[in-house]
Structure formats: structure tokens, C-alpha cells
Amino acid sequence: MMQDVFSKLKSLQEVLSKKFEIEQEIRDIPKVLNTKTELLNRLKKSYVEKNGQVEETKEQIRRLRIRLDDAEHQREGYEKQMDQISTQREYEALDKEIKDATEKEQHLRKEILRQEKELEELSYSLEQEESMIRQQEEELHAEQERIELESEDKRILLRELEKEEQEISPGLDEEILFKFERIIRSKAGLGIVPVKDSVCTGCHMMLPAQFENDVRSGENILFCPYCSRILFYEEEEVATGDFVTEEDSGSLTDLVNLEDFGLDE
């Protein structure tokens, strides 16, 4: 009777192991999409920030051009006043104003060139990110379709395994089933293992002699005291050796000098 139970548990173990593995795969599927979605969101966030930098740089260039126009007009105004001066002191003062205005113009032009170069780099980077965002959106959409098909295949297989589980489970103690499922979930798919040479093959711990005898009797369902797996006894396979036949015996006798043993009579 117990052998039937052990046989059912072994079959159920195979089904449950596959079932729990597929359930975990189904749970893990969104993680792949989450990774791609997070990457896409980071790209979009970077794009928004960079686009803001582009607009800010454009505004800075616009303000610099206004200041440059003012500096140019100021310098031109000072240059026109040169025709009206009458003293050396006035000339020196006006000449200094013209030089200062010219330096200001040069500084503003350099700053405008720097800002325009930065704008060009930002704009190029923005175009690159636009392309990457489109690519990521396409990949994400394709991944969603692929995963949906894959998920449906897994759900079909899961239903088939659940059907097998329902076919095997009847007649098994519900409490044993509950423990058995928990063990398989937590013990890498192994809920029932054989005892060999007084060792649990699940955790490889040596079992007490009396406990091994109880497992060997197969009268009750026993759990390993170390790893909690259900145990059953598995007979060791006897190694097939060379047996001595009568012919071999005769041939061996020929190799022995019977006189040495006083057996030549």
C-alpha cells in the first residue's frame, strides 16, 4: 500500500517541479519588460532634461545677441564722438571707452560662439536620443508581443500539468500533500528522495540506524530530520562480478601444486 503512495509521490514530484518552475517563469516575465520600460523612461527623462537645456541655451544666445548689439551701438556712438572732442584728456577718456566697448563686443562674440557650439552638441545629442527612444519603443512593443505569446504557451502547459496533478493526487493524504508541495517549492524541486547507505540523498546527511530501519520497513511516511524531505528506501544494486564455475575450478586446481599441501592422494 505504501509503495503505491511513494510511487504516486514520485510521479507528483515530477509534475509539481515542472509546474512550480513554469509558475516562476510566468512571474519573472514582467521583470524583462520592467527592465526595458525603465530604460525607456530614463531615456525619455534625459531627453526632456536635454531639451530643456537646448531651450535655455537658445534663450542665453538670444540675450547675448541683444547685449552684443547694445555694445556695438555704444562703441559706434563713442567713435562718432571722436569728431567732436577738443582736448587730449577728452580723447584719452573716449579712447578708453571705445576700447572697453570693443573688448566687451569680443567677449560677447566669444561667449555666443561657445554657446552656439554647446547648442549644436546638445541638438545632436537630442537627435541621437530621439532615435534611441524610437528604437526602444519598437523593441519594447516587439518584446511585449513575444512575451504574450510565450506566456500563453506557458499557461497552456501549466493547465496540462495541473490536470496531471489532479489525476495523481486523489487518494493522497491532504496534510501530506500540503507539506509535500511546500518541500518541493523550497527544496529545488525535490520532495521525496531515496535513502542509500544510511544517507539521505537530498541533504547527504547520515541518518540514525533505527530511523533508517523505519524507512526501510516502508510502513509510514517519514520525513528526513535534517532537510524535511520524504524518504523511501532504495535497495543497493549488487555489482555483477565474475563467478567461478566448475570448469574454472578445475583450471585453477591445475595451477596449484597439490603436493605442496599434501593433497596429491
Q: What is the pLDDT of residues 52-83, one digit of tens each?
A: 999 999 999 999 999 999 999 999 998 999 88
Selected from 1.10.287.1490, 3.30.450.40, 2.60.120.10, 1.10.287.70, the CATH number assigned to the domain covering 21-168 reads: 1.10.287.1490
Claim: this prediction has a pTM higher than 0.75: no
Asked if 215 contacts 40 with a C-beta cutoff of 8 angstroms, the reply is no
pLDDT of the residue at 245: 44
pLDDT of the residue at 187: 86
Average pLDDT, rounded, for the chain: 86
Q: CATH 1.10.287.1490: which residues of the chain?
A: 21-168
Q: What is the pLDDT of residues 105-125, one digit of tens each?
A: 999 999 999 999 999 999 999
pLDDT of the residue at 123: 93
At residue 237 the predicted structure's pLDDT band, cuts being 50, 70 and 90, is low
Q: What is the pLDDT of residues 82-100, one digit of tens each?
A: 888 888 998 999 999 999 9
Which residues contact residue 258 at a Cβ distance below 8 angstroms, ignoring those fewer than 6 apart? 264
C-alpha cell at 98: 571705445
Residue with cell 519603443: 137
pLDDT of the residue at 250: 44
Three state DSSP letters for the chain = CHHHHHHHHHHHHHHHHHHHHHHHHHHHHHHHHHHHHHHHHHHHHHHHHHHHHHHHHHHHHHHHHHHHHHHHHHHHHHHHHHHHCCCHHHHHHHHHHHHHHHHHHHHHHHHHHHHHHHHHHHHHHHHHHHHHHHHHHHHHHHHHHHHHHHHHHHHHHHHHHHHHHHHHCCCCCHHHHHHHHHHHHHCCCCCEEEEECCEECCCCCECCHHHHHHHHHCCCCEECCCCCCEEEECCCCCCCCCCCCHHHHHHHHHCCCHHHHCCCC
Segment 147-171 mean pLDDT: 92
pLDDT of the residue at 264: 47
pLDDT at 235 over 90: no
Q: Give the integer Cα–Cα distance in Å for 57 and 45.
A: 18
Q: Give the integer Cα–Cα distance in Å for 29 and 120.
A: 41
At residue 195 the predicted structure's pLDDT band, cuts being 50, 70 and 90, is very high
